[in-house]
Amino acid sequence: MNQNVNVRSISLVSLGGVLGSLLRYTIGELFSNSRTSTLITNLAGVAIATFLLVLIERRGSTNQRHFWLPGFCAGLTTFSALALYTLQPRDGAVIYMSISVIASLAIIAIIMPIARKVIAVRP
């Protein structure tokens, strides 16, 4: 692999990850309940990533994909917190996991066809 491409990709993923993490932190500060902030950030991340998958596939570049998907969206979302909350059964783990999964799938089912309709394929 070309050394310059690798450094560029790492830089883009890093910058996107920092910005996504900062947004996640900001959302966490807005809500006193960490479960709520985790749910919000994860669902927002699913929505953003779904739209961006179509956008980048049709009109984007590798650099944009690196910045937005493994960078920003990965920095915004967190599987580890979701997993932690599902291991706390007395605190409604099954309901929390169910809401997370069902809402994520619903978001994808809603956003994917809209994105495919409004984002034209690059000629």
Predicted pLDDT at 85: 86
| Whether residue 119 has pLDDT greater than 70 | yes
Q: How far apart, in whole angstroms, are the C-alpha atoms of residue 118 and residue 93?
A: 37
For residues 14-33, give the mean pLDDT. 95
Tell me the pLDDT of the chain averaged across its residues.
93
Residue 48: both structure tokens together: 């953003």
Q: Where are the domains of the chain?
A: 3-118
How far apart are the two ends of the chain, measured CA to CA in Å? 29
Predicted pLDDT at 32: 87
Q: What is the DSSP letter of 69?
A: I
22 Cβ contact partners less than 8 Å away, ≥ 6 residues apart: 75
pLDDT tens, residue by residue, 58-117? 999 999 999 999 999 999 999 888 888 888 877 788 899 999 999 999 999 999 999 999
